[in-house]
Amino acid sequence: AQSVTQLGSHVSVSEGALVLLRCNYSSSVPPYLFWYVQYPNQGLQLLLKYTTGATLVKGINGFEAEFKKSETSFHLTKPSAHMSDAAEYFCAVSVPILTGGGNKLTFGTGTQLKVEL
Amino acid sequence: SQTIHQWPATLVQPVGSPLSLECTVEGTSNPNLYWYRQAAGRGLQLLFYSVGIGQISSEVPQNLSASRPQDRQFILSSKKLLLSDSGFYLCAWSGRRNTEAFFGQGTRLTVV
């Protein structure tokens, strides 16, 4: 069964510092991986996704993530944090729906990012 | 472009009362539809998904049910709410070929 583990439920960085949010996955098939961001009392917004091809994927708002099969990881990074990056971030792995097509996402427990002046 | 609407945004209901949350998608046809629940510190739990009208799959046993009366309408219901049903409920859709899901703005349900 597919699953994701996010290390660190809370991460705090200074404005302008590197952001690193960790995600490890478990999958019996080649995984599709995602990062979503959630602002308070809102839905989730897709930051970036990895399906196939280039292992370094770039997303919105300056975020990127690298798929490392040998480490079963998909960590999210941003070179320089901004106050507006403060939010909760979720890593997810896609599980195929065998009948009817499409996929369903299994999420990690989330990492709350705090950005300090 | 595709949009997803979910309402109401907030809801306070007494224990034992019924529930109906509605979600509609515009700008696409035959989407996969999902209901997730989010509890603090527990991430998002998939409750139900649907690959077509009248086709509902339940991921976890619970006090809730889902229905899909139309192609782009997904409803989450309960006959009698429990305190443990409180949470943030999110509706989402995805296409047959797309792998990512697109989320509504969520409903904050408080059962008192």
Q: Distance (Å, rounded) from C-alpha B66 to C-alpha B75?
A: 5
Confidence of residue A30 (pLDDT cuts 50, 70, 90): confident
Amino acid sitting at position A39: Y
Q: In degrees to the nearest 10, what's the CA dihedral of A34, B47, A27, A31? A: -30
CA distance A23 to chain B (A): 13
Chain B closest CA to A1's CA: distance in Å?
Answer: 14
Run of H or E residues at A104: strand A103-107
Q: Assign residue B27 a region: left if phi > 0, alpha if psi is -120 to 50, beta otherwise?
A: left
Residues in B touching A110 (Cβ below 8 Å): 41, 43
In chain A, the largest separation of any two C-alpha atoms, in whole Å, equals 50
* Bigger pLDDT: B55 vs B39: B55
CB contact under 8 A, A102 and B94: yes
Cβ atoms B3, B26 nearer than 8 A = yes
Residue of chain B whose Cα is closest to the Cα of A6: B43
Q: Which of B10, B34, B44 to mutate to test the interface with A (most CBs of A within 10 A)?
A: B44
Neighbouring-strand partners of residue B84: none
Share of chain A above pLDDT 70, in %: 98
B27 pLDDT band, cuts 50/70/90, is very high
Radius of gyration of chain A (CA): 14
With beta carbons less than 8 A apart as the criterion, state whether A57 and A47 touch.
no
Instruction: Measure CB to CB from residue A108 to each of B32, B43, B52 and give the nearest one.
Output: B43
Residue A46 has pLDDT above 80, yes or no: yes
Whether residue A63 contacts residue A76, with contact meaning beta carbons closer than 8 Å, is answered with yes
Token pair of B83 as six digits: 């305190």
Provide the mean pLDDT of chain B. Answer: 92
For B73-82, write each residue's pLDDT tens digit. 999 999 999 9
Flag if A32 and B90 touch (Cβ within 8 Å).
Answer: no
